[in-house]
Structures are given as structure tokens and as C-alpha cells.
Amino acid sequence: MKRKVLCLGIIVGDFLAKPVEDMPERGKLTLVEKTELHIGGCATNTGIVLKKLGVDVSIVGKVGNDNLGKFIINKLKEEGIDTEYIKISDKFTTSGTSVLVHSDGERSFIHSIGANADFDINDFDFSLLKNFSILHIAGPFLMPKFLKMGLTEILKEAKNGGIITCLDTVWDAFGNWLKGIENSLPYIDYLFTSFEEAKMIAKKEEKEDICNFFLSNGVKNVCLKMGERGSYISNKNESYYFPALKVNVIDTTGAGDGYVAGFIKGITENFEFKKCGLLANIVGAKITTAIGTTAGIKNWEDLLKFAKEFGYEI
């Protein structure tokens, strides 16, 4: 049976400005070359890339009853993604981020949590789980109600149902870190986290020590996204480091979400652990070659061609 993925998590509208070198003084204006409106949020970004790579995807989350929410849902439908399970909030506006892309591709963010803060366990239909083989939860640190009541319960139910579980952390603006996800760790098959986020959670500095911390707390596999330093994956039997591909970086926005999508694509193809990590590294790099969170990925065939240019056969 073809594996279907349920992506649950933050849904965001991204307004990109590029290149941004200086912030204008109060009451003044600064010009940039380009501004664009995109779908953002790690649940939707990962879902879109997965769909482009040929995976059947549904999204669960919440948007506001506003034009930005309608834009996001319509764009997801255009990508062929099932939006039936996205809830509409009448109390909160759709989450939005102003993404300031610097000339070297690095980014700064101004974020409104919006409707993501309104998502909780009552917005999730547990009967959905029987329709999917992989559950990916993305950005729970920016879903405070869900983090408190919902995250552990859903992961546990999924594990009990034989579903592969994945979690991607995102930066914790509330400062909960380990306290927020500690009870969930034993129910996570694949933990994806940036190196900086991982250091905050584990209170460790070295990648090996960080991975050992998570593994000793019940996580089955740990995947560290390390940006220009590449990536590192580990479980109790094997560990691998992948250097970053030398590409012409246009915009790093969404690279981490693309990395996750690449790894999950590998899971759906029953690739071995190392090959999943390699694929993730390649997808993350490909994302950085275009402006926006998902534009760098066209389809599976194009990605295979890109990989061959760097000497990799997928």
C-alpha cells in the first residue's frame, strides 16, 4: 500500500523581502529588489515538498477566517494537497511572518503566532490516523495549547496504531524547550531539529552528545539540521554526517522543512537510514537555489537530476 503522510502543525503566510541589508529608521523607507507572498510554516512547507516529490499528503492545522487564510488554503489545493482537515478560527488571524532575506541568503523573521495558538486537541479527529502510515508533527513549540494538551496524546495514539511518527521542533519563542516535549520523546520515531534548537533542548554542545541525549530519552532516530555545516543523523546502531552541498544559495528559507520532506520521502520509499539522510541533505540544498520555501523543488525527476550533478545516485 502506498504510504500516506499526515502533516500536523503550524500554517503560516510568509511575506518575503530581498535583499535586506538595513532596517529603515522610524518613519522612513528602505527599497528592496523583490517582495513576494508565499505559504510558510513547517507543516505546510514540508507537505508541499512531499507532494512535489510524489507523496500523498494531507494537512492538519488552523488558519484565521481572513484573506491570508483563504490564500493559503487555495494555494495548497493548487498543489494537490488535501485541506479538508484544516480548521478555521474566528478568534485569531492567520499566522504570518515577515521574512527579511539578507544578501547572503540568511534570514531574519518578524512573526505573529495567530491561529496556530488556537489549535488544540479538540481540533484533531483521532479517527484520521487509520488513514495514514506516517504522522509528521511540525512546529509544536509555536502551538502553546496543543503543546500543553494534544502533542503527547496524539503521538502515543499514533504509535499504538503502528504509525511512523516524526516531529520537527522549530525555535521555541516561549522558552519551554525540553519541558514542552519531554513526555513525547518516547513516542517519536524520527526527531528533526536544527542544531541550535537541539542545543537548547538537550543542554549539550556536541552533535554526538545531543543525539545520545535524545536517544537515551526514547527517541528512535535523531536528525540534526546544521545549515551550512550540513547534517547529522544518528540512532543506537549507526550515525552519519553529510556535508552541505556547494550550491549557489539564493534563499535559505524553508531549507530545513525541505530536509524533513526529503527524509520522509525516503521513508515512504523504504530507503535505508543512511540513504534517507542523504536524500534529506540533497532536498534541503535544492530548496536554497530559489527564493521562497518550496520553489526550489519541481518534481522527483528534477531532484534526481540535481543529485546526479553532485555525484549522487538516489
- Name the pLDDT band for 186 (thresholds 50, 70, 90): very high
Chain centroid to CA 178: how far?
Answer: 19
Question: Grid coordinates 543529485 are at which residue?
Answer: 307
Confidence check: pLDDT of 310 > 60: yes
pLDDT tens by residue, 45-100: 999 999 999 999 999 999 999 999 999 999 999 999 999 999 999 999 999 999 89
- Domain residues for the domain of 89 are 43-93+115-309
Confidence check: pLDDT of 1 > 60: no
Q: In this prediction, what percent of the chain has a pLDDT beyond 70?
A: 99
- Name the pLDDT band for 2 (thresholds 50, 70, 90): low
| Nearest-angstrom CA–CA distance, 163 and 137 | 13
Chain centroid to CA 49: how far?
Answer: 10
- Name the pLDDT band for 3 (thresholds 50, 70, 90): confident
Residue 106 inside a domain? The answer is: no
Confidence check: pLDDT of 23 > 90: no
Burial category of 154 from C-beta neighbours within 10 Å (exposed 0-12, middle 13-18, buried 19 and up): buried
Give me 140's grid cell. Answer: 509544536
- What integer pLDDT is reported at residue 291 of this predicted model? 81
Residue 138 inside a domain? The answer is: yes
Pick the closest to residue 158 from 125, 190, 191, 129 (CA basis).
129
Q: What is the mean pLDDT of residues 295-308?
A: 96
**Total domains in the fold of the chain:** 1
Residue 49 inside a domain? The answer is: yes
Give me 137's grid cell. Answer: 508533527
Residue 213 belongs to domain with CATH number: 3.40.1190.20
- What integer pLDDT is reported at residue 106 of this predicted model? 77
Q: What is the mean pLDDT of residues 243-247?
A: 95
Residue 99 inside a domain? The answer is: no
| Nearest-angstrom CA–CA distance, 225 and 64 | 30
Residue 190 inside a domain? The answer is: yes
**DSSP states of 241-278 as a string?**
EEPPP----S--TTHHHHHHHHHHHHHHTT--HHHHHH
Residue 259: partners with Cβ closer than 8 Å, 6 or more residues away? 192, 223, 225, 231, 280, 281, 283, 284, 287
Mean pLDDT of the chain: 95
Residue 82 inside a domain? The answer is: yes
- What integer pLDDT is reported at residue 108 of this predicted model? 86
Residue 173 inside a domain? The answer is: yes
